[in-house]
Amino acid sequence: MSKSVFFVSCPKGVEYLLADELSTLGLGLVRNAPAGAWVEGSLEAGYRACLWSRLANRVILHIDEVPATSADELYDGVVHLDWQQHIPVDGSFRVNFIGENEAIRNTQFGAQRVKDGIVDRFTMGGGKRPAVEAKTPDVTVSARLHRGKLAVGIDISGHSLHQRGYRTEQGLAPLKENLAAALLLRAGWPEIAASGGDFVDPMCGSGTLVIEAALMALDIAPGRRQERFGFEKWLGHQPETWLSLRQEAEKRAYEGKQGRIPKFLGCDQDGRVITTARNNAQRAGLDGLLEFQVQPIEELSLGDERAETGLVLVNPPYGERLSDRQALAGLYESLGDAVKKVASGWRLGVFTGAPEFGRSIGLRSFKQYKLFNGKLPAQLLLFTIDEASVRTPREPAAPGEVLPRIANEERAAMLRNRLKKNMKTIGQWARKQNIGCYRLYDADMPEYALAIDMYEGRVHVQEYVAPKSVDERSASERLAEALAVIPEALGIERDQMVCKQRQRQAGVSQYEKQNVSGEFFHVQEHGVTLRVNLKDYLDTGLFLDHRPVRHWIQQNAQGKRFLNLFCYTGAATVHAVAGGASRSLSLDLSNTYVGWAQENLRLNAADPGKHKVEQADCLAWLAAKPAPDQVYDLIFMDPPTFSNSARMAGVLDVQKDHAKLIRQAMKRLSSDGLLIFSNNFRRFKLDEGLATEFEVEEVSSRTLDKDFQRNARIHRCWHIRQRA
């Protein structure tokens, strides 16, 4: 059986779930795409997706891709396709056009050019042509313009598959059926139902979640009650294949009701939407299988025959207006109180556009999924309803501790919007680069002098010390606002955020513990694993701004002898080892960081015989006469700006001492080797005499990723080589 290619669209954020679902329907993934997936398989599998996909919007049978950098080029590509294989000459068609470029600036014009190409293909040589029908065509042609190419196909679904046919009336703010199905899958409902669990939506509205839960648990095809699909008058249609699939779906729907039927309960305090929910359930063919009650959340009851396990899934109001949002905390608190009272041992899922109110539920969320409700960013928060997950009341503030509190809502809204904007731009860039640790915000707004870094779902906040001209009370008030806004804007639990005050460190204070949590965890960076700690030290163990430098080292270390001076936690050495360095030596004054570097190397399976980390005063080590084996092909030196540690041979001032350090390091560099010299002193000036002795090239601009380009002087970096 020949394979066809399909593009299957879905709600944003559901792409990976969709790909998994399509694989169970016989469609293999070709590639993921925004709001969809390209897959391949038989036409039967395409039909099966139309009938059985709970997540798809549309299923497009791909015909061809044509160049479309101009309107004429688009037309030429379309007119040369064999449309007589797809559209009956005495039938009708319409064109759905998506996308734009410099030549085609609106979808109406693009659709017109595609239509012209199709019609002209039929009328060449005086032939008849099909009619154009906007509402109920026989065939719908899909045209998707992207990067100068037009993907042309037949929409075999014919309509958005989220429209199951049962919801002809709805309550306020309805949840689309396929998004409801995605929430059920993310919440683990199929597994819960299979283990004998029940389902409850205590704010059910028009009943979409309850109905989708029943269709899923009872193995009923979501497209079973659809009257018409887009392939039925397409010339390539295979009626026998389709009839067989419909008969199979009917058989499965019958068999799904023969075993234990879970309890499906929907409640709402509005009697009008409960009537709507009952009507929707009847149209879905579930009459008598679902229970709907008029019941406020405070009176939630699951009855006497409550299952041991189950899922409470709810889509509460988001509170788009400020006056509404102020009442949400009480609503979420009531939800938490109700489920803790009647659903112990169950799972709770809350889908919300206001995740900051999740804390009011009084349970600790174990998983959060970022999704969209239409264009509105939202999250699915998952909780286990048990004693171990109950949040303990916060202790009173310790002396000097700043508690989250919003004093100026308008000012806080500005920070909230900035963080969400940065999350869309920098966060999206980081995800595409497969970067889990990055700087999201760096004092973008003068009112909030903070550096906010993401560490794979955890947040590290550093407060810059306010100048003396800023009133201490005002600074504390703004910090309190930031601490209230950050978890809300980024969709995290507050205990996933660590806040520190950053100030000048003298001597060994930069190495001293700030805390004793011992909470280390592992992060990934360009294929290596690194150990970080957000709480116990001033820094985390990973300088994010040097990420491109480390990556360059990894890409250029093959077969080289590598030296890392002032090595900190050895991250650059780990990258050198991953890049194939033949051997390495890493030196640092601090025993704490020497041990940390050794652990990082161990995590990445480095050979300890070839890759050594030693505790040493780099000033004294460099001043000593080099041993014969102390010659290196690649040296990285990133000294602190200032240090007067009692364990050092002298005082280090990078501005005064850098020329001597560089000259000493160059004595250990092979003739064709490279020294990478970097530092973070904002007013640093490289000694001009170095350029007369060595080949010196400043590469600072090439060592800044997108997340640090706003702060271009976060560090300076040079490549230094021996003169020929």
What are the pLDDT digits (tens) for 549-598? 999 999 999 999 999 999 999 999 999 999 999 999 999 999 999 999 99
pLDDT of residue 46 exceeding 90, the answer is yes
SS (H, E, C) 34-85: CCEEEEEECHHHHHHHHHHCCCCCCEEEEEEEEECCCHHHHHHHHHCCCHHH
pLDDT tier, 646 (very low <50, low <70, confident <90, very high otherwise) = low
**pLDDT at residue 468 in the model:** 65
User: Cα separation of 582 and 180, whole Å?
Assistant: 54
Judging by DSSP bridges, how do beta strands 367-373 and 347-352 pair with one another? unpaired
Each residue of 134-157: pLDDT tens digit? Answer: 999 999 999 999 889 999 999 999
Helix, strand, coil abundance in the chain, percent, nearest 5: 35, 25, 40
**pLDDT at residue 507 in the model:** 40
Instruction: List phi, psi (to 5°) of 206.
Output: -85, 10
Residue position matching structure tokens 């920070």: 415
Whole-angstrom CA distances from 55 to 173, 179, 230 are 19, 7, 18
**pLDDT at residue 405 in the model:** 84
**pLDDT at residue 370 in the model:** 84
* Interval 260-270 mean pLDDT: 95
- Picking from 62, 144, 78, the residue whose alpha carbon sits closest to that of residue 114 is 78
pLDDT tier, 508 (very low <50, low <70, confident <90, very high otherwise) = very low
Query: What percent of the chain is modeled with pLDDT above 70?
Result: 93
**pLDDT at residue 515 in the model:** 55
Each residue of 698-708: pLDDT tens digit? Answer: 999 999 999 99
pLDDT of residue 448 exceeding 50, the answer is yes
**pLDDT at residue 319 in the model:** 56
pLDDT tier, 510 (very low <50, low <70, confident <90, very high otherwise) = very low
User: Cα separation of 223 and 156, whole Å?
Assistant: 13
Q: Which two tokens stand for residue 139?
A: 């065939």
Topology of domain 4-155, CATH: VC0802-like (3.30.2130)
User: Cα separation of 475 and 467, whole Å?
Assistant: 10
Each residue of 378-434: pLDDT tens digit? Answer: 899 999 999 999 986 654 445 456 778 888 888 999 999 999 999 999 998 998 887
Q: Which two tokens stand for residue 505?
A: 């460190």
**pLDDT at residue 172 in the model:** 54
**pLDDT at residue 467 in the model:** 66
User: Cα separation of 103 and 109, whole Å?
Assistant: 10
**pLDDT at residue 505 in the model:** 41
Q: Which of 396-410, 670-684, 710-724 has the lowest mean pLDDT?
A: 396-410
Q: Which of 1-5, 154-158, 676-680 has the lowest mean pLDDT?
A: 1-5
Instruction: Find the angle CA(575)-CA(577)-CA(581) to the nearest 5 degrees.
Output: 120
Q: What's the mean per-residue pLDDT of the chain?
A: 91
Whole-angstrom CA distances from 178 to 11, 222, 223, 448, 486 are 8, 9, 11, 40, 30
Beta bridge partners of 675: 635, 720
- 3-state class (DSSP) for residue 217: helix
Each residue of 424-441: pLDDT tens digit? Answer: 999 989 988 878 899 999
User: Cα separation of 453 and 438, whole Å?
Assistant: 6
Extents of the domains making up the chain:
4-155, 177-218+261-389, 416-502, 529-722
pLDDT of residue 509 exceeding 90, the answer is no
pLDDT tier, 125 (very low <50, low <70, confident <90, very high otherwise) = confident
Each residue of 301-333: pLDDT tens digit? Answer: 988 788 999 999 999 986 544 344 556 778 999
pLDDT of residue 514 exceeding 70, the answer is no
Topology of domain 416-502, CATH: Transcription Regulator spoIIAA (3.30.750)
Each residue of 346-355: pLDDT tens digit? Answer: 999 999 988 8
Query: What percent of the chain is modeled with pLDDT above 90?
Result: 75
Domains 177-218+261-389 and 529-722 share a fold: yes
* Interval 471-498 mean pLDDT: 87
**pLDDT at residue 431 in the model:** 84
* Interval 190-209 mean pLDDT: 96
Extended beta strands in 503-601, E state = 520-525, 528-533, 561-565, 583-588
User: Cα separation of 67 and 78, whole Å?
Assistant: 9
Topology of domain 177-218+261-389, CATH: Rossmann fold (3.40.50)
Q: Which two tokens stand for residue 368?
A: 């959060």
pLDDT tier, 516 (very low <50, low <70, confident <90, very high otherwise) = low
**pLDDT at residue 80 in the model:** 96
Judging by DSSP bridges, how do beta strands 198-201 and 264-268 pair with one another? parallel
**pLDDT at residue 503 in the model:** 47
Does the structural domain 529-722 have CATH classification 3.40.50.620? no
Q: Which two tokens stand for residue 637?
A: 């030196």
